[in-house]
C-alpha cells in the first residue's frame, strides 16, 4: 500500500483510541465547534469502530456502530475529503450490519451531509433538531430489501 492508498478496516478502540480521538477532535471540536466534553462518551467502549488508514499508518477517517444499530462519529480529515473515504467507511458499517443480521441502520445526519447519506439509501425519519449546536435529521436505512 502506498501513501496515496487508503485502507478502510475495523478499528480496535483500546489499541486505536488515540488516533481515532485525534481525527474526531480535529473535525468535530476544532472544525465544527462541538464542545470537547460532548465528543467522547460512554458508547465508545461498547461500539464497533472503523478507521481509514494511509500507507504510513496515519488514521485519516473514522466512525462507529453502536450496539443499537446507530452509525455515528463519521468523519474524514479535511485534506482527505472528496476521495470516497466517507463512502467506504459507511459501506464498511453497512456490510458489518448485514453480517451481524441487523435489519436497519440509523444515524443522525448533519444537514450538510443529508445528500451523502441519501446516495447510500438512507432516508429522513424526523424533523430537523439540534445536536451539539448543529442541525441534524434522523435517517434510517433498511437492510431487508438488499442482498
Show pLDDT as tens, one digit a residue, over the chain (147 residues). Answer: 444 689 999 999 999 999 999 999 999 999 999 999 989 899 999 999 999 999 999 999 999 999 999 999 999 999 999 999 999 999 999 999 999 999 999 999 999 999 999 999 999 999 999 999 999 999 999 998 654
Identify whether the C-beta of residue 76 lies closer than 8 Å to the C-beta of residue 86.
yes
Please give the pLDDT value at position 147.
47
Identify whether the C-beta of residue 88 lies closer than 8 Å to the C-beta of residue 37.
no
C-alpha cell at position 41 = 462518551
Query: From CA 37, how far away is CA 15, in angstroms rounded?
Result: 22
| Residue 124, phi-psi category: left (phi > 0), alpha (psi -120 to 50), beta (remainder) | beta
At the top level of CATH, the class of 6-142 is alpha beta
Which DSSP letter does residue 20 get? H
Please give the pLDDT value at position 2.
46
Please give the pLDDT value at position 1.
47
Identify whether the C-beta of residue 34 lies closer than 8 Å to the C-beta of residue 133.
yes
Please give the pLDDT value at position 3.
46
Please give the pLDDT value at position 145.
63
| Residue 111, phi-psi category: left (phi > 0), alpha (psi -120 to 50), beta (remainder) | alpha
Identify whether the C-beta of residue 38 lies closer than 8 Å to the C-beta of residue 88.
no
Identify whether the C-beta of residue 60 lies closer than 8 Å to the C-beta of residue 52.
yes
Amino acid at each position: 500500500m502506498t501513501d496515496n492508498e487508503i485502507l478502510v478496516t475495523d478499528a480496535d478502540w483500546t489499541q486505536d483510541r488515540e488516533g481515532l480521538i485525534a481525527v474526531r477532535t480535529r473535525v468535530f471540536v476544532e472544525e465544527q465547534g462541538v464542545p470537547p466534553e460532548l465528543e467522547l462518551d460512554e458508547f465508545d467502549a461498547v461500539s464497533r469502530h472503523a478507521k481509514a488508514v494511509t500507507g504510513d499508518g496515519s488514521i485519516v477517517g473514522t466512525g462507529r456502530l453502536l450496539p443499537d444499530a446507530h452509525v455515528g462519529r463519521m468523519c474524514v480529515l479535511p485534506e482527505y475529503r472528496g476521495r470516497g473515504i466517507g463512502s467506504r467507511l459507511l459501506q464498511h458499517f453497512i456490510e458489518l450490519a448485514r453480517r451481524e443480521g441487523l435489519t436497519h441502520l440509523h444515524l443522525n445526519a448533519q444537514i450538510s451531509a443529508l445528500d451523502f447519506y441519501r446516495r447510500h439509501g438512507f432516508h429522513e425519519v424526523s424533523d430537523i433538531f439540534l445536536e451539539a449546536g448543529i442541525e441534524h435529521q434522523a435517517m434510517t436505512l433498511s437492510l431487508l430489501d438488499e442482498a
